[in-house]
Structure 1
Amino acid sequence: MNTNLILDVDSYKVSHWLQYPPDTTAMYSYVESRGGKYPITVFFGLQYILKRYLIQSIQPWMVEEANSLLTAHGLPFNYEGWRYIAEDLKGRLPVRIKAVPEGSIIPIHNVLMTVESTDTKVFWLVSWLETLLMRVWYPTTVATQSWHLKKLIYESLLRTADDPDSEINFKLHDFGARGVSSLESSGIGGLAHLVNFQGSDTVQALVYGQKYYNSPMAAYSIPAAEHSTITAWGREGEVLAYQNMLTQFAKSGSVLAVVSDSYDLWNAIDHLWGDYLREQVLDSGATVVIRPDSGNPMEIVAKTLEKLEARFGSTLNSKGYRVLNAMRVIQGDGVDEESITAILKKTESLGFSSTNLAFGMGGALLQKVNRDTQKFAMKCSEVTVAGEAIPVYKDPITDPSKASKKGRLSLVKNEFGYQTVSNSSEDLLEVVYENGQLLQGQSLDTIRQRAWPRNT
C-alpha cells in the first residue's frame, strides 16, 4: 500500500490553512543552506524524494484516513481542500519545484530549490510539503561531507601518488549500513556517498541507485574477513584462517581484505603474514589489504605500514614516496575527518604514499550529521494576497543568521561566482516537478561528473 503523503507532516502545519490572510491565493518558498560546517553544499537526493513520494497520487482513502486521525489529534483538517486534490485534480499535487542540477557544488547562503503553488484553491500545500521536502538535507549533507573528505584524500594523493585520478574513487569505503536508523537511511545516505566514491558495503545504496538514479551498478566491494571468520578457527588456528582467505580469494590481480587484530596485530604482521604466509601472498599475485580495527588510528596505521614494509618491502614511486609490495592497509575504526587528516599527515611524514591506504567510514559518514550540520531551512518568500504578489521574510533581532530571503529567487553564476538574485531569466534552477509529474531525470553518472569534473 502506498504511503499516505497527507500524514507526512508536522502537526502544527495542519491548521496553517486557516492562518493566512483570507484572500491568499499563492505561495512561494525556497530551500537553502544557511551556513554550517562546510562552505559549500553538494546538492543531491531530491530526485529520490520526487520518485519515491511525490509522483504518487493522493487517493480518497488517504483523505479519509488523514481526516479521522488528525481531527482526533485535535486539529482542524482541511477536508474540502484535500478532497479537491484527490478528486478534481485526480490526485496530482498542484506545485512546481525548481532546483539546481543534482551534484552541483553551491556555496552556502544560496537558493538550492524553490516550491510554488499552481492552484489558487490549495496554495497552502507548499507549506504542508515542507516536512517531506526538507529531508533533502540528509542526502545533501552526506554528499557534502563525503565530497570534502574526497578533496582531503585527493590532495594527499596529488602529493604522494603516481595516478591520483585512478585511485581516488576507492579510497573511502562506506561501512555505515549497520549504524544508521533505518533501511531507507542506508539507501539514500549510502547513495549520497556514491556521488563521490565507488566503494561501498551498503547494499541498499546499490538498490536505490538502480531504482532512482539509473545506475546499473553504483559501487563495488571485495571479499573481506570479519572477526568471526577469523576467531572461528581459534587462536591456535589464526594462521589457518588467514591461509584460507588466500586459498579462497587470492588470485592474480584480485584484492581481498583481512582483519588481523583479533589477538595480536603485530604478531600477525611480523610472523603469520610476514613469515609463514609471505611467499603464498607474493606468489598469488593478489593484493592483501590488512585491516587494523582497534587502538589509536594514526599510531596503529603508521606502525602497520612500517611492519608490512619490513616484511614485504616497497618500491619508490615517481614522487619519491614508498608503495608497499602486495600489501595495503584499510582503517575502518574511528574514522572521521579528524582521524583521516592525522593518518594522511603521519603517513606522508614517514615517506609512504597514500596509495597504501584506504578508509572505511561508518556512523560518522551516514549518521553523525543532522539538519544543522549545514543549517538547512525552507522559508516562504512570497505570497499572493488579493491579486498582489507580496515579498515576505523573517529577520529575527535575536538571531540575524536566521534572516530569510524575500521575493522570487533565481540562482545565477557570474564573475563573482554563484549568487542568489531576484527573479532572473538566467536562472540556473530547473523545473524538475510540476503538478504530479517528474519532468526530468538525472543519472548517477551525470551527477558524479558534475560533482567531480576532474573525472570527465
Structure 2
Amino acid sequence: MQNESNGLNDIASILSNPILNTDSYKASHYLQYPPEASAMFSYIESRGGRYDRTLFFGLQMLIKEYLCRPVTPAMIDQAKAFFTAHGEPFNEAGWRHVVGQYGGYLPVRIRAVPEGSVVPTHNVLVTVECDDPQVFWLASYLETMLLRVWYPVTVATQSWHLRNTIRSYLLKSSDDLTQLPFKLHDFGARGVSSAESAAIGGAAHLVSFMGSDTVLGVAAANRYYNETMAAFSVPAAEHSTITSWGRERETDAFRNMIAQFGKPGAIVSVVSDSYDLFAALRVWGTELKQAVLDSGGMLVIRPDSGDPRTIVLQTMQALEASFGSAVNGKGRRVLNNVRVIQGDGVNPDSIEAILAALDQAGFAADNIVFGMGGALLQQINRDTQRFAMKCSAIRLGDEWHDVLKDPITDAAKRSMKGRLTLLVNRHTGEYRTATLPVAWDAHTVEGDWEEALVTVFDSGKLLVDVSLAEIRRRAHAHEA
C-alpha cells in the first residue's frame, strides 16, 4: 500500500516526473560539489564518429515533452519515496525551492544551434546553464534526459547523408530531382525498442524524406514541429495479404491489388517473393500486364529476399523485358509503368551498392525506391557519433572556473572547458567553438562571425518553436 500511495508502481506518473527522469547516482551529486558552488555550465557535443558532420534535430521534442510542465509537490513526494527506498539521498529542499521560487519550472537556460543546422563534429551543439546557487546542480542533473538528443540527431544525420548519396545518383542518371524526398521510406516502426523510439526516430528521418510507414514518427513530427502532415504512404501488400489466398491463387491476390488500388496516378506496392519471385515477375509481365497498363497507376514490385544488390537488378531486368523502358535525357533507362522498392537488407552500404549496380547497368535511379527498417532507427547508438554531455565550468562564489576531464587512457574523451558558445562565419558557413566572452582577434574578425547558438528555453518557457518546414529548408540549403 505504501508503494501504491506514493506512486512507486505507477509507471505512467514516474515517466512524467522530471525528477525521476535521470540516473540514480544523480540524486546524490548535490552533496558532492564544492560547498561554495553557485552556478554550473554544461554542454553537448558529438566527439566524432561514423559521419564528420551532424544534422542537429530533436531538442524541441524533448523540451516540449519534458521541460514545459512544472514540477509539483506530488512529484517531489513521489521522488522522495522512490530515492529513499532506492538507497539514494534526496535533495527535498532544492526541489521545494524550485516549486516555491519558480512555480515548479526548472531555472535553467538552454541554448542550441538551430535545428536543421549541419555542424562538423567536435563542436558544441547545446549548452545548459543554471545560476541559482540553491539548485545550480540542475545543469548536470538534466544530462540523462537531454543527452538523449543523440538519438534524433543520429537518425537525422544518417538520413541526411543517405539523401546526399541518393541525390548524387539522381543528378547523374535522372531528369527529375523532385522525387528525391520519397526515395527512402521509413520501414522501422517494428524494429525499434519502444513506441517512443519510433516517434522520435521516425520524426528525425522526416527532416530529409517525406515517405514513412512509421505512424508514430509522422504524428510526432506533426505535433512537435507544427506540421499538418509531415509524410505520406501508399497502399502496399504484406506477405499475409498475398499468402492468405494460397499458392495456387497468388495471381488472384496480385490481380486484387490492382483492382483495389490501381487508379490513374496512384501507386500500389506489391510484395512478390512469397513463393517464386521470378515466376511472379513472369505473371506480372504477361497475364497481369494489361491490367496494370489499364489501371493508369504505377505498380511497384517489392522483392523481399535474396542478395539485395543482385536481386534488385534481376527484378528490374525482368520488368524491363516485359514492360519496356524509355531512355531519358541522361541516357539512362526508365521502366514503363513499373518501379521496384527494396526493403530487405537495406543499409547505407547496400543503398550505395544497389545504386552503383543499377547505374553500371544503364538504369536510372528513378526506377528504385528504398524502404529501410532496423538500420534506419535501431542499428545506431550513442557511440555512432560519440555523443557526450559534460560540465565545462562552475562558479565558485562569484568567480567562474574551467572544468574538464582529460584521461591519459583515452585522449578522445578529453572534454572542452569554460563557458562555451558556437560561432558561425556569415560568409562561409564555417563553425567554430569558442569560450565566453568571445575574444575577437585577427583570426576571428567580429564582423565576419556571429554566435550560432540561440536561447531556446529559459525557466519553463520555450522561446523558439520552429516548424519542420523551416528545419528542412535549413538542412538542405546546400542543394539550392
TM over 0.5, shorter chain: yes
Contact 1:265 1:292 (8 Å CA) reproduced: yes
- Report the equivalent of 2:79: 66
Give the alignment's Cα RMSD to 1 decimal. Answer: 1.2
Identify which of 221, 228, 243 aligns with 1:231.
243
Contact 1:57 1:90 (8 Å CA) reproduced: yes
- Report the equivalent of 1:384: 395
Contact 1:60 1:87 (8 Å CA) reproduced: no
- Report the equivalent of 1:182: 194
Q: How far did residue 54 of structure 1 move?
A: 0.3
Aligned equivalents of 1:118, 1:239: Cα separation in 2: 70
- Report the equivalent of 1:43: 56
Identify which of 165, 168, 180 aligns with 1:152.
165
| Residue deviations 1:128-167 (CA, integer Å, cap 9, x gap) | 1000000000000000011111111111111100022x01
Aligned equivalents of 1:145, 1:209: Cα separation in 2: 17
| Residue deviations 1:418-454 (CA, integer Å, cap 9, x gap) | 1111123831100000001101100000001111125
Aligned equivalents of 1:32, 1:188: Cα separation in 2: 19
Q: Does 1:445 align with 2:469?
A: yes
Q: Does 1:24 align with 2:48?
A: no
Aligned equivalents of 1:455, 1:396: Cα separation in 2: 41
Matches within 5 A, 1:131-170: 131-164=144-177, 166-170=178-182
- Report the equivalent of 2:7: none
Aligned equivalents of 1:71, 1:387: Cα separation in 2: 34
Q: How far did residue 168 of structure 1 move?
A: 0.6
Q: Does 1:306 align with 2:317?
A: yes
- Report the equivalent of 2:453: 429
Change in CA separation of 1:251 and 1:207 when aligned onto 2, cut-off 3 Å:
same
- Report the equivalent of 1:5: 18
Aligned equivalents of 1:397, 1:106: Cα separation in 2: 28
Aligned equivalents of 1:218, 1:25: Cα separation in 2: 44
- Report the equivalent of 1:398: 409
Aligned equivalents of 1:274, 1:163: Cα separation in 2: 26
- Report the equivalent of 2:383: 372
| Paired residues, number | 454
| Residue deviations 1:167-215 (CA, integer Å, cap 9, x gap) | 1100000000011111111111000000000000001112112211101
| Residue deviations 1:266-321 (CA, integer Å, cap 9, x gap) | 01112x10000111111221110000000100100010010000000000000000
Question: Match for 1:240: what amino acid?
Answer: D
| Residue deviations 1:215-274 (CA, integer Å, cap 9, x gap) | 11000000000011111111111111111111111111111100000011101112x100
List structure 1 runs of 4+ shifted beyond 3 angstroms.
none
Contact 1:209 1:216 (8 Å CA) reproduced: no
Return 5+ residue gaps in structure 1 as ranges: none
Matches within 5 A, 1:90-239: 90-164=103-177, 166-239=178-251
Matches within 5 A, 1:203-352: 203-270=215-282, 272-352=283-363
Question: Match for 2:278: what amino acid?
Answer: W
| Residue deviations 1:109-144 (CA, integer Å, cap 9, x gap) | 000010000312110011110000000000000000
Q: How far did residue 381 of structure 1 move?
A: 0.7
Question: Match for 2:389: what amino acid?
Answer: M
Aligned equivalents of 1:174, 1:416: Cα separation in 2: 31
Contact 2:43 2:390 (8 Å CA) reproduced: yes
Aligned equivalents of 1:243, 1:154: Cα separation in 2: 34
- Report the equivalent of 1:75: 88
Contact 2:207 2:468 (8 Å CA) reproduced: yes
- SS of the residue corresponding to residue 50 of structure 1 reads helix
| Residue deviations 1:384-440 (CA, integer Å, cap 9, x gap) | 002111011111111110111111111112358211111238311000000011011
Q: How far did residue 338 of structure 1 move?
A: 1.0
Aligned equivalents of 2:156, 2:398: Cα separation in 1: 41
Aligned equivalents of 2:58, 2:430: Cα separation in 1: 24
Identify which of 67, 72, 77 aligns with 1:54.
67
Aligned equivalents of 2:73, 2:291: Cα separation in 1: 67
- SS of the residue corresponding to residue 134 of structure 2 reads helix
Contact 1:449 1:455 (8 Å CA) reproduced: no
Q: How far did residue 455 of structure 1 move?
A: 6.4
